[in-house]
Amino acid sequence: MKTDLKWHLRVNVKAAIARAYVRVVGTNREFSWIFFDTLLPLLGTAAYVYVYRAMDAPEEYVGFVLLGGAMTAYWMNVLWNMASNFYFERQGWNLELYFIAPISRMAILAGMAIGGMFMTTIRAGSLLVLGSMLFNVRFNVSSVPLVVLAFVLTLVALYGLGMLFSSLFLMYGREAWHTSNLLQEPVYLLSGFYFPVRALGFYIAIAASIIPLTLGMDAVRQLVFSHLHFSLFPVQVEIAGLGVLGAGLLYAAAVALDRMERAAKQEGRLTLRWQ
């Protein structure tokens, strides 16, 4: 029993590393992507910066915009590279290999998440550094360990959401495209990408906290601009909420993937609508 457990653990870890390796190597294989994924998004972020400066808003709002622009990269990666991945793999005839392989589907998605984080962190970090230099943004970090913890918990919850969407998008077929497009702009608004989410109103902001980015960005902004008072909740509460969200979304993703696999085996197709 113990030997079987060690074997399954080793195989799943190797599968996750192999799936992440493809994306890490792919980042270095086409350097033009770094240019398009860094400088072009910086133009969109700069538009919000000049809007705030035209309104004579506090300079800290420029920092809000840069952090929001950096996190946009992670949200897009979750939607298109995580949530829609199984749907695209079915079109490319690789999905069958995932199901016959003696590994967990969570291991495959974990590898995608790790590789996606690496690729996206290059874009987000470059945008943050270039934007800080270009717009002369000064950060006042109160606790580096808490910033790292809030950021990591945000990514865990966010990619847990991507894992959950991956099975739902696959089950509902072409509706994945419509859902991906539908979720982009509302999430930009409800998560407060370019402004403190508290501006939406307390109750709307609480409802929006179901999206990991809402609590994550609010917590990071509190810690990075510690001299301002604009937060939705105390940072300790938001970090605890991110932990609960991450655990809940990962569990929901495991359940959804299990149902998807059982539907594939019993029905012989992956477009079944759940009743």
Whole-number pLDDT of residue 273: 44
d(CA 133, CA 70): 15
Residue 205's alpha-carbon distances to 188, 209, 214, 236, in angstroms, are: 13, 6, 8, 17
Q: Is residue 213 in some structural domain?
A: yes
CA-atom Rg of the chain in angstroms: 20
Residue 201 has pLDDT above 50, yes or no: yes
Cα separation, 85 vs 166, in Å, equals 7
Mean pLDDT across the stretch 137-164? 84
Average confidence score pLDDT of the chain: 78
pLDDT at 244: 92
* Overall average pLDDT of the 83-104 stretch: 72
Mean pLDDT of 74-88: 73
For residue 189, pLDDT over 70 is answered with yes
d(CA 256, CA 145): 33
Is the residue at 257 inside a domain?
yes
pLDDT tens per residue across span 158-177:
888 888 887 777 776 666 66
274 assigned to some structural domain: no
Q: pLDDT per residue over 31-71, tens digit each?
A: 666 666 667 777 778 888 888 888 887 777 888 888 888 88
Contact (CB, 8 A) for 106 and 257: yes
DSSP 3-state assignment of 134? helix
Q: Which domain holds residue 98?
A: 2-267
Name the pLDDT band for 275 (thresholds 50, 70, 90). Answer: very low
CA distance 194 to 64: 6
89 inside domain: yes
Environment class of residue 16 by beta-carbon count within 10 Å: exposed (0-12), middle (13-18) or buried (19+)? buried
105-121 pLDDT, tens digit per residue, is: 777 878 878 877 877 88
Q: Do residues 64 and 196 touch, judged by C-beta distance below 8 A?
A: yes
Higher pLDDT, 237 or 40: 237
In angstroms, the CA 13 to CA 94 distance is 20
Q: Decide: 223 and 146 in contact? Cβ < 8 Å.
A: yes
Q: Would you place residue 30 in the very low, low, confident or very high pLDDT band (cuts 50, 70, 90)? A: low
Instruction: With a cut of 80, say whether residue 5 has pLDDT above it.
Output: no
Residue 164 lies in a domain: yes
Residue 273 lies in a domain: no
30 in a structural domain = yes
% of the chain residues with pLDDT over 70: 81
CB 58 within 8 A of CB 22: no
Q: What is the pLDDT averaged over residues 137-163? A: 84
Poorest-pLDDT segment among 23-32, 127-136, 142-151: 23-32
Residue spans of alpha helices (H) in 55-171: 60-76, 85-91, 95-100, 105-135, 144-171
**Count of domains observed in the chain:** 1
Distance CA 70, CA 258 (A): 33
Q: What is the pTM of this model?
A: 0.80
- Let me know if residue 81 belongs to a domain: yes
Q: Which of 206, 216, 99 shows the shortest CA–CA distance to 159?
A: 216
